[in-house]
Amino acid sequence: MTKLTPKQRLKICIVGQLLVLIAVIIPTVLLANKESTYYRFGPNDDLIVISIKINTWTRYAFLLVYTMIFRICKVFINELGMPILTFNIYNPNQKIIEDFTRMELQVLANIMFTLNAISYAITIQLSILQIDIAVFSGIFSELAAIPTIHILLKDKEFKSDETKKEKETSYFQL
């Protein structure tokens, strides 16, 4: 059996995740209780978020803007801040920490993890209200991930890019 490259493993994981998602969505849609408030879209008299009734399009728009801001902030904070904490705390190969004292790292990590837990509770509430809010919430998060991934990747050097440039240069010189 041939050994898979990291790129091949990643592509297999993406296809696998897509298949699992389809396998969950199809029975959920087919077996769903059509009278459930979850499968409604837009404002409704039954839609209440943190004790605020979302029964007009204006309130619904404010809810979506709130959700977008919340999700964008969450993505930026988690993508840019959490790796610093997790790599410094959980990396078994890093025995010497240079940028933090033990107390600073302990306090900052506990604050960040506590705020993440509270944020998670709000995220869950938004996700279980209605399917449209859950979908918009996911879309907002993924749109926010685009610039954060760009920010994280711009400081990296890619050997495969250099190899391609060398091949292209030597190809054109022939």
Output the DSSP codes for the chain.
Answer: -PPPPHHHHHHHHHHHHHHHHHHHHHHHHHH--TT-GGG--S--TT-EETTEE--SHHHHHHHHHHHHHHHHHHHHHHHHHHHHHHHHHH-TT-----SS-HHHHHHHHHHHHHHHHHHHHHHHHHHHH-HHHHHHHHHHHHHHHHHHHHHHHHT---HHHHHHHHHHHHHHH-
Task: Decide if 22 is inside a domain.
Answer: yes
The pLDDT of 80-100, averaged and rounded, is 86
Task: Decide if 108 is inside a domain.
Answer: yes
| Residue 68 burial by Cβ neighbours in a 10 Å radius (0-12, 13-18, 19+) | middle
Residues 123 and 43 occupy one common structural domain: yes
The pLDDT of 114-143, averaged and rounded, is 89
Q: Which of 66-70, 95-99, 168-172 has the highest average model confidence (pLDDT)?
A: 66-70
Residues 69 and 21 occupy one common structural domain: no
Count how many domains the chain has: 2
Residues 87 and 69 occupy one common structural domain: yes
Task: Decide if 145 is inside a domain.
Answer: yes
Task: Decide if 107 is inside a domain.
Answer: yes
Residues 22 and 60 occupy one common structural domain: no
Task: Decide if 166 is inside a domain.
Answer: no
Residues 75 and 110 occupy one common structural domain: yes
Residues 7 and 27 occupy one common structural domain: yes
Q: Which domain holds residue 7?
A: 1-31
pLDDT of residue 162: 62
Q: How much is the mean pLDDT over the chain?
A: 86
Residues 132 and 145 occupy one common structural domain: yes
Task: Decide if 75 is inside a domain.
Answer: yes
